Structures are given as C-alpha cells and as structure tokens.
Amino acid sequence: MTTTTNTTTDAPSADAAGTWQLGDRTVNRIGFGAMRLTGMPWDPAPRDRADAIAVLRRAVELGVNHIDTAAFYFLATRSANELISTALQPYPDALVITTKVGPNRSGEGEVEPYARPDQLRAQVELNIRQLGRDHLDIVNLRWGSGLDKEPGSLAEHVGALADLREAGLIRHIGVSNITADQLTEAMAVTPVVCVQNQYGLTERTDDDLVTLTREHDIAFVPFFAVGGSAHGVSEEAGQAEVAAVAEAHGATPAQVRLAWTLHRGPHVLAIPGTGDPAHLDENIAAGALQFSDDELARLDGVAPAV
C-alpha cells in the first residue's frame, strides 16, 4: 500500500497524511470519531447541538471522509448517529461511516447483556435507521469490552455479521478491542478490513497487532490515541520528550501524540474525536507533522514496545 501527500498549507486538510484503501473505499488517514460529539456521561451537561453539527460539517469541509460512530454513543438528549444524519445528509459519495455493534445500552444508558449473534441484526438495523441509510459501510464487532464477562464465541458473532453482509446490510466487517489471536480467529471466518483498539504513545500493548494488520493490509485504527496508559506507563510519561518535539514543530503535545500513531505505518488511521471546532482543526493539522528519525526514536523511547 502507498500513500499520497498534500502539501497545501492554507488550511488543515485531512489528506495531508495520505490515504488508505479501507475495503473497497479510499479514505484519508485522518478521520473523525463521533463518541465525544454528544458529550461524555460524566460531563456536567451535553455538548451544544449546534456546535456538534458545525464540527461535523467542518470536518467534511476539511477532507474527512471516514467517520467512526455507534448507536450506543448517546446521552439522554443526544445521539451521535442522529447528529451525523442531521449534519451530513445527503451524504457525500466519498464518505465512509464505520459503526460498531455488540455492547447493549438501555434507553437510560444502563449497560445490558452483550448481544448474542442472533441479536446483531437488530443492532445493525438500528444503526441503519439512525443514520438514514440502506446499508452500513463498515461494521466493527466490539469485543472484550468488559461490558459482559462471557460474550460468547467471537467466531459465531463474526459469522453472523458475514451473513448480514451477504444479505446486503453490511459492506465490510471489522473487529474492535481484540488480541492478535482473536484477529486470526476472525480472519478464518471472513475478510477483515480494520481493527480498532486502544493504542498510543503510552499504550503500546498492541504493537504485535500493528505488525499483524500491516502484514495483512488491514487498517489499524487506534482509539484514545492521545491519552491512555499501560504496563505502569502513566499518561504523563514522556511529557518532556513530547513537549520538546511539539515546540520544534510549533505543535501541541496532543498533535505530536496523534501524529506519532500515524508514523507507526501507512495502514494506521486516526479517528480523533472532539466537539470543539478549534480542536478539530488541530487534530486534522496533526496529519501533516513529519518527524525526523531522531525525534521518532525519542518518542518511541517513552514507552518501549512490550
């Protein structure tokens, strides 16, 4: 796989980091995650609806053509899918929307038992209705989420999604929050176009998955790439190294962390989320950051591969 680069500097552009073939669609490597559009459950109030819609429209104006969402991204008065539908219909032909299924939440937001394979169709159809589409571009099976101790057989769940693809409700299948062995298990059932796991500068437990997905031309899509920690490596680790690289590029530490993930390979996509227009521009601008070998070595040393 190869990438292309846009050197335009007039405004941040989502094509600055190049592109990747996601299934049968070409997407810019900088995308958008919709989870924060509504505000988070612990926030004192939901995000302003008009601001959320403006952020979505601005993202598309800046070249974002890959949006990650889920029907279970909602608060009592906000739904990420509804905001996307309202803001972006009629959808641009180039736009790819990725959704997730598996976890269940009640209308009040309470966690419910993980979906059985025979319940996935209802979750897929819910996403289709909320987004106002007749099919879904990509559906990720969210696994090992901690919402249910015994979600059942991954192979059976992936097989159920493959049946829905044959029925025309899904175009492509991905998996989320999995191990390398589980990816191998899923690939034995059906082609997989993307893996979405937590990963970042201080969360590198999935370096093996980054390698495995690259070997199979599968997109690796980190979430929480700007924060997170693992194996005793705190989120604050490496602040001096990150700050020094950021200063050298006139960037923010968050931009450096985000750009670092993109340097992990041409198959790595970014889906930073925000409800703030200024943060959106910063996130997209991070795709243009290029690090020297010395800078990459300095950043890699913050949390060496485990």
Residue 73 catalytic?
yes
**The token pair that represents 13 in the structure block:** 């552009």
- Count, in order, helices (H) and strands (E) of the chain: 10, 13
Chain centroid to CA 231: 23
**What's at 35, amino acid-wise?**
M
Q: Alpha-carbon distance 267 to 19, whole Å?
A: 9
Q: Alpha-carbon distance 197 to 118, whole Å?
A: 25
Cβ burial 6-16 (10 Å sphere, 16+ → b, else e):
beeeeebbbbb
Other CB atoms within 10 Å distance of the CB of residue 202: 20
Q: Alpha-carbon distance 218 to 195, whole Å?
A: 7
The sign one gets for the Cα dihedral 175, 74, 257, 24 is: positive
Active-site position among 73, 91, 114, 199: 73
Query: Would you name the residues annotated as active-site residues?
Result: 73
